[in-house]
A = this chain, B = another copy of it.
Amino acid sequence: MIRSLVEEFAFDPAVVQLNHASFGAPTRAALTWHDAVRRAAEADTSASLGKALQDDLRRVGAVVAGLIGADPADVAIVTASTEASGALSTSLPLAAGDVVVLTDGEYESVIRAWQVRAEAVGATVLRLPLPVPAASAAVVDLFTALPARTRYVVLSSITSSTALRMPVAEVARLAADAGAALVVDAAHSVGHEPLDVSTLGAAAIYGSLHKWLPVPRPLGFLWVDRALVDVVRPAAVALHLDEPLLQRFGWRGTWDPAPVRGLERALDEWRTWDDGGRLDAAAALADRADQLLTELGWVPTGEPSMRPARLRGFVVPTPLPVLRETLAAAGVRLWTGTVPDGRTAARLATHVYTDEADLNRLAAAARSLPAA
């Protein structure tokens, strides 16, 4: 870990942090403004959680819209991707006989949410088997023969456990050809890779902001095509249900809007990293990790064009409990689990605080794994 940058975060120095993507990590500066913003709000909550909050939501909603190439009228601020996914899966029109198509590499709770809805209305969910290791052409091929009555195609811009950059634009065209709408789970995009909602051909796109921007969790966004602005509503009815999109999602019952209020500060901090070349350096380290781990028999989950800048997935030729024990003993944090077919998977993220020594410590742990 790069000491000068680690000190900007609140990490345990004994741990090698290569799991940035699971929860994000606010900096100490972000934790400090978050606390200050919370305290300031307590001075007069009738004001700070009333009109002032509405003003802040509008201001920050416009900032978020700017980040993703959207019109502010089509953007809501949500707590996190799950809230947005829940809103879409419960409120987008879906009728008996309709089909929702996604791959089994989509996020577990997103698949489950669509299954629950489909079951409730007599629709079906078609889970396409994601080939891992994945090639972009093979992924696109999955969507070339969409079933009749495919109503929605749900696709991650960057998948979670497999860490794959998906061919969204190509799938959007195939979905459109089939008369289906595309829903994009962009949980891992903002602050990580470019996301321009205006060019993707999607009907709805949502994601988290706390994963790749230094903003305290939880914070996320939901963008919907203009035609859906009046249709989409939160899964749990709260006050403001009948108001414009931003306000409709602006009060989910009592919540803590401090992360919203500090988003601009988080962006400023992120830009200093970007301007200083630190994000590019982290991406170079992700390439280096690919190289090191491939040499040790870990298999990248996708071809190079599908590898996101700072997030990499691997199939690991080791039973999952053994991998977990070994990484825990080594003090190395990665996400570990399985790819859809059950093989052991690991996912690493590099960030501004990552250095080559971290990768070497991971490689040493990987090298110590018993041969498969």
Contacts and interface: CB of A to CB of B under 8 A. Distances in A.
A191 to B, nearest CB: 14
B236 A85 contact: yes
A42 B38 contact: no
A226 interface: no
A253 B79 contact: yes
Interface string A90-126: 1000000000000000001100110010000000000
A10 B43 contact: yes
A218 B42 contact: no
B44 A82 contact: no
A12 interface: yes
Interface string A184-205: 0000000000000000000000
A34 B234 CA distance: 28
A43 B6 CA distance: 11
Contact of A49 (B23, B26, B44, B79): B23
A310 B42 CA distance: 20
Interface in A1-37: 9-12, 15, 17, 19, 22-23, 25-26, 28, 31, 34-35
Contact of A44 (B11, B38, B253, B256): B11
Contacts of A113: 236-237
Contact of A45 (B25, B87, B90, B252): B25
B90 A235 contact: yes
Contact of A112 (B86, B237, B252): B237
Contacts of A290: none
A254 B45 contact: no
A210 B11 contact: no
Nearest to A88: B236
Contacts of A81: 253-254
A39 B216 CA distance: 10
A235 B235 contact: yes
A239 interface: yes
A89 B25 contact: no
B253 A83 contact: yes
A208 interface: yes
Contacts of A241: 109, 112, 116
21 contacts: A10-B39, A10-B43, A17-B44, A19-B45, A22-B49, A23-B45, A25-B45, A28-B39, A35-B35, A38-B216, A79-B253, A83-B252, A86-B235, A90-B235, A109-B237, A109-B241, A112-B241, A113-B236, A217-B255, A234-B236, A256-B256
Interface of A: 9-12, 15, 17, 19, 22-23, 25-26, 28, 31, 34-35, 38-39, 42-46, 49, 79-83, 85-87, 89-90, 108-109, 112-113, 116, 208, 210, 216-218, 234-239, 241, 252-256, 333
Given A82-B253, A85-B237, 8 more contacts: A10-B39, A11-B42, A22-B46, A79-B253, A80-B254, A83-B253, A86-B238, A218-B255
Which 7 A-B residue pairs are closest in the complex by CB-CB distance? A82-B253, A86-B236, A113-B237, A235-B236, A10-B42, A12-B43, A80-B253
